């Protein structure tokens, strides 16, 4: 498991770097455009920032508490309540980078025994801290792909016959 723990941590640490590379230099018109059923690249970035403390708290509680019940969140409700969209992309990226670094430093200290600690999730049943550690970067990469598809959508209508070169 140590190899996959390190892989998960490497992916978690790479996420802010990848998002900065994708979004930092783009014009506001692109990062705020509704490109995926109410989602813009900036809104997805805000979601990363919004759920960061949720993941971190779940980990801490799984390590510290017995018989933990994890309740699902409504990500859209918490996202809207956080007023993240009033912040700049750079501010969101900075916040994610700082909090992710702190969380990964703490996650690196967890032992194999701690990673096997279970909790009960209200919708998916029993999960371990290790399961959550591996789900988190999986979640990140799914949203990175979402942003990449959005950025492709900005250009798609201008491809003409070049669309045949589908990669």
pLDDT in tens, the chain (167 residues): 568 999 999 999 999 999 999 999 999 999 999 998 889 999 999 999 999 999 999 999 999 999 999 999 888 888 888 899 999 999 999 999 999 999 999 999 999 999 999 999 999 999 999 999 999 999 999 999 999 999 999 988 899 999 898 76
Provide Rg for the chain, Cα atoms. Answer: 18
* Domain harbouring 38, CATH code: 1.20.120.450
How many domains does the chain fold into? 1
Which residues, listed in sequence order, are joined to residue 162 by a DSSP beta bridge?
none
In a domain, 125, yes or no: no
**What pLDDT does 2 receive?**
66
In a domain, 123, yes or no: no
In a domain, 121, yes or no: no
In a domain, 135, yes or no: yes
Q: Which domain holds residue 148?
A: 2-64+73-109+130-152
In a domain, 167, yes or no: no
Which residues, listed in sequence order, are joined to residue 39 by a DSSP beta bridge?
36
- Tokens representing 89 are 């992309």
In angstroms, the CA 160 to CA 151 distance is 17
**What pLDDT does 28 receive?**
94
HEC string of 47-93?
Answer: HHHHHHHHHHHHHHHHHHCCCCEECCCCHHHHHHHCCHHHCCHHHHH
Which residue in 84, 83, 96 sits closest to 42, CA to CA?
A: 84
**What pLDDT does 21 receive?**
98
Helix (H) or strand (E) holding 126: strand 125-128
3-class state of residue 121 by DSSP: strand
């Amino acid at each position: 498991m140590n190899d996959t723990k390190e892989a998960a941590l490497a992916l978690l640490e790479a996420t802010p770097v990848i998002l900065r590379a994708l979004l930092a230099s783009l014009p506001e018109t692109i990062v705020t455009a509704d490109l995926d059923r109410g989602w813009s690249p900036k809104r997805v970035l805000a979601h990363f920032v919004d759920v960061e403390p949720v993941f971190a708290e779940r980990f801490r509680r799984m390590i510290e508490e017995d018989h933990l019940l994890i309740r699902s969140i409504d990500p859209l409700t918490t996202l809207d309540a956080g007023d993240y969209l009033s912040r700049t992309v750079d501010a969101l990226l900075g916040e994610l980078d700082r909090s992710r670094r702190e969380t990964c430093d703490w996650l690196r200290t967890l032992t194999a025994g701690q990673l096997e600690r279970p909790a009960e999730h209200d919708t998916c049943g029993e999960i371990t801290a290790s399961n959550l550690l591996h789900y988190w970067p999986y979640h990140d990469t799914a949203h990175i792909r979402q942003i990449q598809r959005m950025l492709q959508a900005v250009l798609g209508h201008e491809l003409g016959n070049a669309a045949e070169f589908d990669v």
